[in-house]
Amino acid sequence: MDLDTIEIVGGSNGVISRSESSARICAVSSRVEEIADGAFLDNRSLEAVIVPASIRKIGRNAFTDRPGHPVMIYFQGSASEWDEIDLDEQVKEIPRVITNDGYRVYHI
């Protein structure tokens, strides 16, 4: 990952309702517990999101609503932590892969 393209994204009261980031890679703050429906839809250049283990809910179309525009999700928690997140059905269907650095990678 090119560190020049990463932006840390926080939220209000632990929720990202709408991100104004235009970065290709967004790292969600560990203070965030929820990513709301359509939170990153305005970011048309988004390629990847780094999601901390603090997340408890990910809403519908949180990252993209465009078929053919995949967004990589790097989850910093364990498989069991991922399974505990309240996920929209779209996100539940994401294939899982474990990388060498310990992150779990999900593709939308």
Q: How confident is the model at residue 12 (pLDDT cuts 50, 70, 90)?
A: confident
pLDDT at 44 over 80: yes
Q: Is the pTM of this model over 0.85?
A: no
Question: Domain segments of the chain: what residues?
Answer: 3-107
The answer to whether the beta carbons of residues 62 and 89 sit under 8 Å apart is no
- pLDDT tens for 65-83 read 666 777 888 888 887 888 8
